[in-house]
Amino acid sequence: MTTKHAIAILVNDQPGVLQRVSGLFGRRGFNIESITVGQSEEQGLSRMVIVTEGDDQTLEQIEKQLYKLIDVIKVVNLSSKPMVSRELALIKVKAEPAERPEIKSLADTFRAAVVDIGTRNMMIQVVGDTEKVDALLELLKPYGIQELSRTGVTAMTRGNAL
């Protein structure tokens, strides 16, 4: 059964490491739905979070192949544990002055923020899990989405789970 998985990868913060990881996915026919990279809690190490789709066997191969990369220090399949996952999206939506209060209240419902207002549009910033961002987008679509930028998922296990 193919399902979505979020995988966290602790890597050496070396030039080319993103290329090694993403190249491995491409070459071996694994899919990348989103990929984020940034600092980790330890200097010299970065944490990548990759959202991918596949069955158990594919996931096992992904983990094993990742461990073959010398710069990969730890791989954790977050989806197999209780976790928190978040992404951020900036949404520029068409907004004539008359529509603004309506859009604002939509955003409020999702605890999203209006971060810019132009003469004919508004920019909304939303943070949440993928489903929440999808849901807000769905509601904003009828107004006309002019520009959309999503960060991809970053995630962490809850509490003491590792």
Distance spanning both ends of the chain, measured CA to CA: 25
Enumerate residues 14-53 that contact other proteins by CB under 8 A: 15-16, 19-20, 23, 27
Quick one: which segment of 59-67, 88-96, 106-114, 152-160 binds other proteins (CB under 8 A)? Answer: 59-67
Interface pick for other proteins out of 1, 29, 38, 68 (rule CB under 8 A): 68
Q: H or E stretch including 65?
A: helix 56-68
Q: H or E stretch including 123?
A: strand 121-128
Contact between 13 and other proteins by CB under 8 A: the answer reads: no
Distance CA 49, CA 132 (A): 19
98 versus 162: smaller Cβ distance to other proteins: 162
72 versus 89: smaller Cβ distance to other proteins: 72
Interface pick for other proteins out of 18, 32, 69, 113 (rule CB under 8 A): 69
Tally: H helices and E strands in the chain: 4, 9
3 versus 14: smaller Cβ distance to other proteins: 14
Q: CB-based burial of residue 29 (10 Å sphere; 0-12 exposed, 13-18 middle, 19+ buried)? A: exposed
Contact between 4 and other proteins by CB under 8 A: the answer reads: no
Strand partners, 85: 155
Binding site for other proteins (CB under 8 A): 11-12, 15-16, 19-20, 23, 27, 57, 60-61, 64-65, 67-74
